[in-house]
Structure 1
Amino acid sequence: MMILGWKKRYSEILKEFNYSEKKDNESAKILNSILKNNKIDEKICKLVKGKTVCVIGSGPSLSDAITKLKNLKIVKIAADSSVNLLLENRIIPEIVVTDLDGDIGSFKKIVKTKCVFVVHAHGDNIKKLEFVKKIKNCIGTTQTKPFGKIKNFGGFTDGDRAVFLANHYGAKKIILFGMDFGDRIGKYSQTKKAERKTKLRKLKRGKSLLEWLSTITNSELFTTSKPIMGFKKISYKEVDTIIT
């Protein structure tokens, strides 16, 4: 089951970035063959449904958010390359959303913990999917039609896909940290210089998807980062009033 309206947006992504739906499907099939039958879906639902959660990206404002994140007692959903800085500050997220482009060394430190990995399959990461065999708690996602053990919650980049995941599992409130979607790329994102222009285009697309999600979600949406249409901009001090 896909979020209503996703097929149209996926078609736009394929066209804009010249991606191959065939390769995306191939990757999803490989991931499906690796994943084990488990009850991780139920575990995520228990963590998220009806709760206030935060989604953590690797934008420029992440370093400023660390102090606040250390003291937050709510479920943390971390996008890919934000994990490295979180672990350096002894913050272990409950959920990691990744296409395995981040710091695998950081992932190795938590693959055997209670942390749930939501691994995304796409045409460019087929060779990296073997790593999933090392993960204790894992579900798989795709941008194409879901099947078998593969889900599709919507979303494009790891960051906005994490927000779509929280929406899918019925989070009451979603608060963004380090999700800037501006013209600067955070130093924690591990983006190579040659990939900068494409990365900025991806961020722009991710932001537009979140703006669309804000019009159809039942979750209350907040951001401590740069303004996003449909998300209420709040300060770190205001976070405490949101989670009580």
Structure 2
Amino acid sequence: MILANLSHMTIVGWESRYREILKEFGYSRNNDNQSCRLLDSILPKKVDLVKIRRLIENKPVFIVGAGPSLPSSIPILKKYKKITKIVADGATQAIIENGLKPDIVVTDLDGDIKSLKKAGRTNTIMIVHAHGDNSEKLGFAKNFKNCIGT
């Protein structure tokens, strides 16, 4: 269930889960907030969310992570090249090195920066998550052609 008001949307139960995440990873809420504001200031234009909807609504989608099955999944991804691929940053390098194009990359900029930059120069939609320990890397996002910050 999503509750909404005019200024923002909140997922019910998110606040308590967020506090758990902060504690588990040792993150600071203030640092998270500062990183979010920094990313928001870096991203001058907004990506039209309709682009994402066109890629995924009522369509099959591959979600690609950097797990142990990634190498054996590459031939399948090549066979179905036209199916939308949402790729975690850790899998971006393998996808690109195998001649595939990610449609969407979800990243906190902890993956291979060279591969992320390469994907970011294309029409790939880059979804960049700001958090308290990646503020020094957020500047990379300003060079991404299509970028959404979270």
The TM-score normalised by the length of structure 2 is 0.88
* Distance in 2 separating the partners of 1:42 and 1:65: 29
User: Offset at 1:50?
Assistant: 2.2
Match of 2:100 among 74, 80, 91: 91
Would you say 1:127 and 2:136 are equivalent positions?
yes
> Partner amino acid for 1:30?
L
Unaligned runs of 5+ in 1: 142-244
CA distance in 2, matches of 1:47, 1:3: 24
Aligned-pair distance for 1:48? 1.5
* Alpha carbons of structure 1 residues 102 and 39: separation in structure 2 relative to 1, 3 Å: closer
1:70 to partner: Cα distance: 0.9
1:79 is displaced (CA, Å) by 0.1
- For 1:18, give the aligned amino acid: G
Deviation at 1:42, TM superposition (A): 2.0
Q: TM-score, normalised by structure 1?
A: 0.55
Q: Given residue 135 of structure 2, which amino acid in structure 1 is its aligned partner?
A: I
Contact 2:126–2:148 (CA<8 Å) still a contact in 1? yes
Contact 1:81 1:102 in 2 (8 A): yes
1:114 counterpart residue number = 123
Q: Which residue of 2 aligns with 1:23?
A: 31
Aligned sequence identity (%): 52
What are the superposed Cα offsets for residues 51-75 of structure 1, whole Å, 9 maximum, x if unpaired? 2211100011111111111112311
- State how many pairs are aligned: 141
User: Is contact 1:40–1:138 with CA below 8 Å preserved after alignment?
Assistant: no
1:110 alignment partner, SS class = helix
Q: Contact (CA 8 Å) 1:40, 1:137: kept in 2 or not? A: no
Alignment gaps of 5+ in structure 2: 1-8
Alignment of 1:2 with 2:13, yes or no, is no
2:133 corresponds to 1:137: no
Instruction: Supply the distance in 1 between the matched residues of 2:55 and 2:13 (Cα, whole angstroms).
Output: 26
Partner residue, 1:151: none
SS in 2 for 1:58: coil
Q: 1:83/1:39 Cα in 2 relative to 1: closer, same or farther (>3 Å)?
A: closer
Matches within 5 A, 1:48-63: 48-63=56-71
Q: Distance in 2 between matches of 1:2 and 1:45?
A: 21
